[in-house]
Structure 1
Amino acid sequence: MPLINKASKRKRTDSHLAPEATPETSTASMQEHIAIIVDEEGDSEDVHSEDLDYPWCKDVRVTATTKDAVQVGHCKGYLIDRARIRHHFYEEMDGPDHDVKEFGVYMFDRFGNLKLDFYQHPVKRGTGAWGEEINKGRILLITSVFVKKEFRGQGHGKTMVQELWNKARATSKECMFAATMPAISRAPHLPMPTPQETARGEALLSLAEEFWRAVGFRRIGSSPYYGFAQDEAHPSKSLKVAADYRRPLALQGPKYHGNQEWPYTREMTTAKDDHLLGILRDRLQEVPGDHPIWVAKDNHGNNIMHIAAHRRPRSLAFLFDLDQAHHLETARNLEGETPLEFALARVEKTRLCKEYMDMAMEASNDFDGLTYAEHECVLKLMHITNPRQHLSEQIRFGCTCAECIEGFISPRMAEALRTQAALIFDLLRSESGADIEDEGDRWLRLNDHFLRYIPSPLHARLRTSYTLRQGYTHAFLFIRDLLGEKRFPSFHEVAERAEKQTSQHTKMFLQQGGGVASVIFTCIDKAVEEDEYLGDGSYYDCFGDTVDALKPCRNDHEFGFVRRQYCKHERITDGADIELGRFVHNDFEDF
């Protein structure tokens, strides 16, 4: 029987698991003198991540030893509960381990959901075996598997992976998926590898990938990560090893090497627009169409149009005037991206996350849309000239539904804010109180959480003024109606509607500095509290059918972004003062 190392305060797990519940492996080659032992919680010499700092991330490890306590190998992973960190996913994933951070940033959006490209993009979806199902439940990220050289080829690596999965499942039945990225360790201080070293590294990487496929893992989309599903009916289970997606190896240099006529130097890839345009004019003006220069690619498979597609509109316009433009704009790089997709992917990457001193920080709330150069490049790549304003704004703000109000309030976002405006209106109206001081005090106490953004001087007058309380209350009704009509709820729209409907209460509220932003921000706060990713999920629980009937969009849950753009649209200049309820609308004097 296998040895149980009692002195280590660890326990051996059952080595046999039903095939449908574990990564595929055979334990027949497991010799009797080898033990698989699993670390107990808090037992390792290392700091376990179930400490208070990372309660959502559990450190799971197994070790194989001989009966003489000689280590055979070890396997380590992290059991990640994304549901607990969706509100600050990137920043939380940055904590436990560098591998955890890389996994989170590369594979998931800022709410911990698999990036759409990995199951919707024609190339990046890979075999198409993975999709939204991976967004639910906990996931085991396996970060290392090591077997000493003299013990290799005997099945110990497979068995340790099996036991690691067994431990994760025993810890939480919500663990439905595992993931790993096959890699070859290399010291960071070593010089760039030679071609021979590169070829050997690629061969070793191929062996590592075949190991994970043999254990039952299959590549997730076109990413470098492999996944394993608990469900036997999952599409990856029926995917043969030979049919799994093969990710292209990185090119080791330009496709074309010719007496420095077309070198992919750092000068070209980092050149600003005017500089690159000069290079292109010097080298491409008279080049024949069958010249190898037109198929030249850099180490990432990018051609010259990919390079120009990122913030170089003048260079891009020059390339589109050439006869080879169609070939250049339809070519795909190693990630499977055309120049247009490459440009949009670069924008999306900077929109989602920014890194500072190797720390991952969420950036979505600070997104101000495409820069002028990015916008011009995307329009050119989409063959759009003189776009109408609404289309231009939708492209600028990353709208993917073609229905966003002012380019950034998506149908689902508008419905969430409209619903909250209606609910808040009903709550405030039922407690408006009479025009006496006692009723005002009661109204303020009951609705304090809806009054955060009321300017301080006006807030004091709400206690004694029934008219102002009614004005604030009815402003929510106007917001509800405007969003229902797919109109932007601006200061002037609300003021004009109050004038037409002879709503003297709301008109007085606006005239005395109440502002519409105080109403919008209150709706946003309440929507965030009930959002399925940022809050308790109660909104979707109640109105899921309505939400599902609306067209999805990239901007659906970007409440911070919508708030920021509302401020810019309405020319509200001091974000800090908004937090304190002291904002000033720059158009107030026009009312």
Structure 2
Amino acid sequence: MDRIVEDKRSVARKRKAASSSPERDGSAIVSRSVETGGNDRKRRAVSSGGLTTSAAVQATVENETELENSSTPHGDPEFGEDDVFDAGDEASDAARDDSIPSTDLPDALQPTGDDDMEEDDWDDDEEDPSEDSHSVSDSDEEDYVPLEVEVEETTFTISEPEELKVILKSYRQEGVDKFEVWLETLIVTCTCEGNEIGRGFGRYVERDFIQENFWRNMEEPCQELSDIVFKLFDRYGRLKEEYITHPVRKGTGYWGAELNFGNLFILEHVAIKRDFRRMGIGSAVVNSLIAKSNSGERTTDFTIVSPSYLTRGVEEESKGKSKKEHQEIANRAYDAASAFFRFLGFRRIGASTCFGLANDLSHIARTSLASEDFDLPELGEETEEEDKFDGSKAKERAMKRLEKQLPLHHAVLSLSDEKCVECFENFKTPDTMDEWGRTDRFEKNVLHQAACELKPKSVQWLLDNNKNLSLGRSRDGYTPLELLMDQLETKRTTGKRGVATVLISDSFEGFIPDAIACMAALRGLEAPSDIQTLQLKYGCTCGKCIDGLLSPRMKFALSCQSEIGHDMLLIDIGDADKWCQTNEDLAEHLSPNIRQRFLTNKSLRHVFSRIFHHAAITLRSNKLPTVNNIVRTWKDSNEWPAHGFNFYQRGRKTKSALRKIFEFARDQDQWAGDGKHLEAFGEIRCLPQCRNDHEFGFVARACGVPGFEQYVSPDVIWNRRHQESKMLLDTTPELAY
């Protein structure tokens, strides 16, 4: 993985270069550690600007009734190339989970749907995405028209049922989003005889600009982007590991670490008026969008869609039918949409609901057959075990039905842990042996349910009495342990604030005791040691984290930065003015009074440098770099000058130095920063990888640095761009997928 990262990053440097930020003079730096930290210590404060939701564009997506998504020029009469699908909403999940979306979600016609619908769903007065005006003041909203730049027009002729000339206009919308440094909205309109008959839009994402805060940035522009990126990628824009390595969740295994790099084009919306379907217009609109995403300075590496079915069409076809028949109709519609995209060259990404199309024609997903693609398992018939209940009465009725159909699942959901164990004991008879292996419509057995409900005593009882339950896989391919880990990972990383998804990784304080006990039982740890308990609590996956949270790789990075800081502070220590000017950033978090005293007190400057030295010693001793541990290391060193005692004992000084150590480690991290640390200290590749490797915010808070968030200043991005400009003449290495 690290080699892939290094090779891909080298290719990324070939991308367009941006202006560079001022750098400090590093001529006086003599050691490797000092060279790494000396040149880019000074961070420019560049405003990232406010982020607002593209309200008008979102409204168009939510109200459109004829949607199509695709991304190649080919048409397919069998699947109806000009029928329409929505690439952004959650309707695809609903089709599988029997949670049919409400009518305010986007609608799309089935590719095999009838052409003689009772009414035309196109609204001639409907707001166009190009009329978005959310970024201007309220007083100017009515008169504001966003700019259309990079305008191109092409024409083609359709011959059936009569010969007509169709004009495609493609353009980039400018002056609307405050995200335009990394996000571009590309729009295509299609007209015939002066009337608009089709339109579409997508979002071009220059991922390298937002890698450090990928989730945070991608959540804000619109819901469609948020849905896709939280489904597929982690907080740094990397494809989730389960889609690469999990025996089931990886699907065909076509997609791997290559999806961690490069620019994305999210195809959100294509609409074709009813009378002009199945004439090749939809494919023409999509082709124009894809071409636009690869024109000018744009280079799309992957196009991503999330296909779904036509809500209104399914509802009309389902009138008067049973719930089961309704579900079957929805499933057929979703399957038709998936088949449509596969015909166009898309392949499912892992076992997700998203499909991808690589720009690289030699990519394995482009060379594989559609028949070889991964299919999601069919959803079983409803057993009335609902994870979402509408109203207390409905919940009560559903629970009564569940008690009859799946009594063990009902016990887990309705009883306390102790009562649940009693119920299991009473239920355990020779006549009920077959009941223990029964699953719900999501193919979750009773152990899946007990683990997700965080009932450790029930989990242990089930494992003691039927170990085979631990091998069962849910519809999504998870064993009970894997399902629990997936649930805990979601709780660790994200939360909800209204409809917005909020990143909460930096506030993680460890899993609760019941979750730890369930994990221990499912892992076969009968009496976990203290360190094993801490590793379970803090999500360690390498088995070597200090106190369960500080991974070997992060420890190495913090040690390097501690030594770098110490070396930097020793340079010109006898020249007060030069020392204070050169190390202004290292003393950034100290009080103005202390910084002023540095000008007149050389001993104080020396003591400050020793904090970084003792932090490095603390880390080498396999201890967390907390203020108390660093002070204890200093005391053990027998360095006891009076001025040093006061300086150390007042923990704010030590905490200020510790904060800078974490900030520098974060800013040079492989994923959370500019990657300089990996370039300078390649030996980090020899250390085991861990889930906690890049969680600087979480670890800093655990070490007593309050309010430390893993937000990377825009200057780090500028620094990466400057590095790219220096590497433009380098030879591009062969990519390793």
TM-score (norm 2): 0.67
Alignment partners' CA distance in 1, 2:494 and 2:206? 20
Report if aligned partners of 2:411, 2:423 keep a CA contact under 8 Å in 1: no
TM-superposed CA distance for 1:32, in Å, is: 6.3
Q: In the alignment, does 2:679 pair up with 1:541?
A: yes
Alignment partners' CA distance in 2, 1:424 and 1:149? 66
Report if aligned partners of 2:412, 2:420 keep a CA contact under 8 Å in 1: no
Alignment partners' CA distance in 2, 1:76 and 1:463? 59
Q: Mark the CA change 1:186 to 1:269 in structure 2 (over 3 Å): closer, same or farther.
A: farther
1:184-583 equivalence runs, <5 A:
184-186=309-311, 194-254=323-383, 260-263=403-406, 270-271=413-414, 273-274=416-417, 277=420, 280-281=423-424, 284-286=427-429, 288=431, 290-291=433-434, 293-310=435-452, 311-322=454-465, 325-433=466-574, 439=576, 443-454=579-590, 461-491=597-627, 493-504=629-640, 509-513=647-651, 516-543=654-681, 545-567=682-704
**2:293 alignment partner, SS class:** helix
Alignment partners' CA distance in 2, 1:375 and 1:120? 24
Alignment partners' CA distance in 2, 1:507 and 1:515? 12
Report if aligned partners of 1:30, 1:155 keep a CA contact under 8 Å in 2: no
Q: Mark the CA change 1:474 to 1:212 in structure 2 (over 3 Å): closer, same or farther.
A: same
TM-superposed CA distance for 1:288, in Å, is: 3.6
Q: In the alignment, does 2:212 pair up with 1:87?
A: yes
Alignment partners' CA distance in 2, 1:146 and 1:213? 19
Please, which runs of 5 or more residues in structure 1 have no aligned partner? 1-7, 16-26, 43-47, 577-591
Q: Mark the CA change 1:380 to 1:136 in structure 2 (over 3 Å): closer, same or farther.
A: same
Return 123-132 or 467-476, whichever deviates more: 467-476
TM-superposed CA distance for 1:96, in Å, is: 2.0
Compare relative contact order (CA 8 Å, sep 6+) and give the higher one, 1 or 2: 2
Alignment partners' CA distance in 1, 2:671 and 2:281? 40
Alignment partners' CA distance in 2, 1:76 and 1:565? 44
Report if aligned partners of 2:211, 2:671 keep a CA contact under 8 Å in 1: yes
Counterpart residue type for residue 209 of structure 1: S
Alignment partners' CA distance in 2, 1:521 and 1:444? 18
Report if aligned partners of 1:254, 1:296 keep a CA contact under 8 Å in 2: no
Q: Which of the numbers 168, 172, 190 marks the counterpart of 1:37? A: 168
Q: Mark the CA change 1:62 to 1:447 in structure 2 (over 3 Å): closer, same or farther.
A: same
1:4-43 equivalence runs, <5 A:
11-13=152-154, 33=164, 35=166, 37-42=168-173
Alignment partners' CA distance in 1, 2:351 and 2:672? 29
| 1:117-174 deviation per Cα after TM superposition (whole angstroms, max 9, x unaligned) | 1111111111111011111111111122333444444443333322221111114443
Q: Which residue of 2 aligns with 1:107?
A: 232
Report if aligned partners of 1:36, 1:163 keep a CA contact under 8 Å in 2: no
How many percent identity over aligned positions? 25
Alignment partners' CA distance in 2, 1:575 and 1:62? 45
| 1:230-262 deviation per Cα after TM superposition (whole angstroms, max 9, x unaligned) | 112211122111110001133331399999434
TM-superposed CA distance for 1:95, in Å, is: 2.0
TM-superposed CA distance for 1:508, in Å, is: 5.4
Return 558-567 or 456-465, whichever deviates more: 456-465
TM-superposed CA distance for 1:12, in Å, is: 2.7
Report if aligned partners of 2:216, 2:502 keep a CA contact under 8 Å in 1: yes
Q: Which of the numbers 62, 65, 78 marks the counterpart of 2:188? A: 62
Alignment partners' CA distance in 2, 1:210 and 1:464? 75
TM-superposed CA distance for 1:211, in Å, is: 0.7
Alignment partners' CA distance in 1, 2:656 and 2:413? 44
Alignment partners' CA distance in 1, 2:342 and 2:623? 52
Alignment partners' CA distance in 2, 1:217 and 1:555? 33
Alignment partners' CA distance in 1, 2:554 and 2:621? 14
Q: Mark the CA change 1:258 to 1:490 in structure 2 (over 3 Å): closer, same or farther.
A: closer
TM-score (norm 1): 0.82
Alignment partners' CA distance in 2, 1:29 and 1:379? 66
Alignment partners' CA distance in 2, 1:181 and 1:36? 28
Report if aligned partners of 1:250, 1:299 keep a CA contact under 8 Å in 2: yes
| 1:203-245 deviation per Cα after TM superposition (whole angstroms, max 9, x unaligned) | 1111111110011100000000000001122111221111100
Q: Which residue of 1 aligns with 2:258?
A: 133
Counterpart residue type for residue 451 of structure 1: A
Report if aligned partners of 2:624, 2:703 keep a CA contact under 8 Å in 1: no
Root-mean-square deviation (CA), in Å? Answer: 3.5
Alignment partners' CA distance in 2, 1:139 and 1:30? 37
TM-superposed CA distance for 1:488, in Å, is: 3.0
Report if aligned partners of 2:563, 2:616 keep a CA contact under 8 Å in 1: yes
Alignment partners' CA distance in 2, 1:172 and 1:73? 26
Counterpart residue type for residue 307 of structure 2: P
Q: Mark the CA change 1:501 to 1:274 in structure 2 (over 3 Å): closer, same or farther.
A: closer
Counterpart residue type for residue 566 of structure 1: C
Q: Mark the CA change 1:187 to 1:207 in structure 2 (over 3 Å): closer, same or farther.
A: closer
| 1:398-443 deviation per Cα after TM superposition (whole angstroms, max 9, x unaligned) | 1112221211111221121111111111111113237xxxx3x654
| 1:507-533 deviation per Cα after TM superposition (whole angstroms, max 9, x unaligned) | 553235466433321100112222343
**1:342 alignment partner, SS class:** helix
TM-superposed CA distance for 1:306, in Å, is: 1.0
**1:321 alignment partner, SS class:** helix
Q: In the alignment, does 2:159 pair up with 1:51?
A: no
TM-superposed CA distance for 1:492, in Å, is: 5.0
**1:488 alignment partner, SS class:** coil
Q: Mark the CA change 1:283 to 1:241 in structure 2 (over 3 Å): closer, same or farther.
A: farther
Structure 1 consecutive aligned stretches of length 4 or more whose deviation exceeds 6 Å: 27-32, 190-193, 255-259, 264-267
Counterpart residue type for residue 182 of structure 2: W
Alignment partners' CA distance in 1, 2:584 and 2:352? 48
TM-superposed CA distance for 1:298, in Å, is: 2.8
Report if aligned partners of 1:471, 1:504 keep a CA contact under 8 Å in 2: no
Report if aligned partners of 2:218, 2:225 keep a CA contact under 8 Å in 1: yes
**1:557 alignment partner, SS class:** coil
Q: Mark the CA change 1:53 to 1:187 in structure 2 (over 3 Å): closer, same or farther.
A: farther
